[in-house]
Amino acid sequence: MSARAEERFIASYLASLAEGFPGAFGLTDDCAEIAPLPGHAFVVKTDPVVEGVHFFADDAPEDLAWKALAVNVSDLAAKGARPVAYLMALTLPAQPEPKWMERFAAGLRQAQDAFGCVLIGGDTDCRPGPLSIAISVFGEVPAGRMVPRGGAVIGDHIYVSGALGGAALGLQLRLDPGRAAAWRLADGDRNQALQRYLRPEPKIGLRSSLQTYARTSMDISDGLLKDLDRMCRLTDVGANLELAALPLAGGVGAVLAADQSLGVQLITAGDDYEVLATVPPESAANFELTARRGGVSVRRIGHVVADAGTRLFDQSGTQIKLGPTGYDHFDVK
Nearer to its own copies, 1 or 182 (CB): 1
- Contact between 164 and 246 under an 8 Å Cβ cutoff? The reply is yes
Reduce the DSSP state of residue 55 to 3 states and report it.
Answer: strand
# residues near its own copies by CB under 8 A:
79
Rounded-to-integer distance, Cα 302 and Cα 320, Å: 14
Angle between helices 166-175 and 260-267 (to 10 degrees): 110
Residues 221-260 that bind its own copies (CB under 8 A): 222, 226, 229-230, 233-234
Kind of pairing between the strands at 118-126 and 82-92:
parallel
Check binding of 324 to its own copies (CB under 8 A). Answer: yes
Nearer to its own copies, 41 or 254 (CB): 41
Q: Which of residues 105-134 bind its own copies (CB under 8 A)?
A: 120-130, 132, 134
Q: Say how far apart CA 328 and CA 167 lie, in whole Å.
A: 16
Q: Are 140 and 50 in contact (CB under 8 A)?
A: no
Report d(CA 150, CA 240) in Å as an integer.
17
Q: Does 329 bind its own copies (CB under 8 A)?
A: yes
Among residues 58, 187, 282, 331, which is the contact residue for its own copies, using CB under 8 A? 331
Contacting its own copies within 174-213 (CB under 8 A): none
Binding to its own copies (CB under 8 A): which residues in 69-88?
A: 75-76, 78-79, 81, 87-88
**Binding status of residue 144 toward its own copies by CB under 8 A:** yes
Map the footprint of its own copies across residues 146-175, applying CB under 8 A. Answer: 146, 148-150
Binding span for its own copies by CB under 8 A among 37-45, 187-195, 267-275, 311-319: 37-45
13 CB contacts (<8 Å, ≥6 apart)? 101, 102, 104, 105
Task: Say how far apart CA 107 and CA 114 lie, in whole Å.
Answer: 11
- Figure out which of the listed residues 11, 53, 57, 154 binds its own copies, where binding follows CB under 8 A: 53
Helix (H) or strand (E) segment spanning residue 2 = none
Nearer to its own copies, 32 or 169 (CB): 32
Q: Do residues 49 and 133 touch, judged by C-beta distance below 8 A?
A: yes
Cα distance between residue 145 and residue 151, in whole Å = 14
State the binding string over 277-316 for its own copies (x if CB under 8 A, else -): ----------------------------------------
Residue 95 in contact with its own copies, rule: CB under 8 A: yes
List the beta bridge partners of residue 242.
Answer: 313
Residue 138 binding its own copies, by CB under 8 A: yes
Q: How far apart are CA 205 and CA 125, in angstroms?
A: 35
Least CB distance to its own copies at residue 28 (A): 6
Nearer to its own copies (CB atom), residue 95 or residue 260? 95
